[in-house]
Amino acid sequence: MPTPGRADHRHRRGRSGDGGGRHHVPEEGETPGPGAADSAESKISALFKLKSIGVHFSRVLGGEVYYRTFRNRRGVGQTIGLASSPFQSGDMARDQGIAKAGNGRARKAMTELAWLWRRHQPDSALTRWFNERVGDRKGRVRRVAIVAMARKLAVALWRYLETGLVPEGAVLKRA
Per DSSP, the residues of 20-50 read ------PPTTPPP-TTTTS-HHHHHHHHHTB
pLDDT at 28 over 60: no
Close Cβ partners of 20 (under 8 Å, ≥ 6 residues apart): 40, 63
d(CA 172, CA 160): 12
Q: Which amino acid type is present at position 150?
A: A
d(CA 96, CA 115): 23
pLDDT at 175: 67
pLDDT at 38: 54
Nearest Cα to 157, choosing from 85, 84, 57, 83?
Answer: 57
User: Which residue range forms the structural domain that includes residue 46?
Assistant: 37-163
Establish if 1 belongs to a structural domain.
Answer: no
Is 70:58 a contact under the CB 8 Å cutoff? no
Mean pLDDT over each residue of the chain, to the nearest integer = 79
Q: Convert the pLDDT of each residue in 104-156 to its tens digit.
A: 899 999 999 999 999 999 999 999 999 999 988 999 999 999 999 999 999 99
Establish if 17 belongs to a structural domain.
Answer: no
Establish if 168 belongs to a structural domain.
Answer: no
Establish if 4 belongs to a structural domain.
Answer: no
- Higher-pLDDT residue of 10, 95: 95
Is 93:87 a contact under the CB 8 Å cutoff? yes
pLDDT at 98: 75
* pLDDT tier for residue 34 given thresholds of 50, 70 and 90: very low
Structurally, how many domains does the chain consist of? 1
Establish if 6 belongs to a structural domain.
Answer: no
Establish if 84 belongs to a structural domain.
Answer: yes
Residue 19 CB burial class (10 angstroms; 0-12, 13-18, ≥19): exposed
> Residue 60: how many CB atoms within 10 A of its CB?
21
Establish if 97 belongs to a structural domain.
Answer: yes
pLDDT at 90 over 90: no
Establish if 5 belongs to a structural domain.
Answer: no
pLDDT at 157: 94
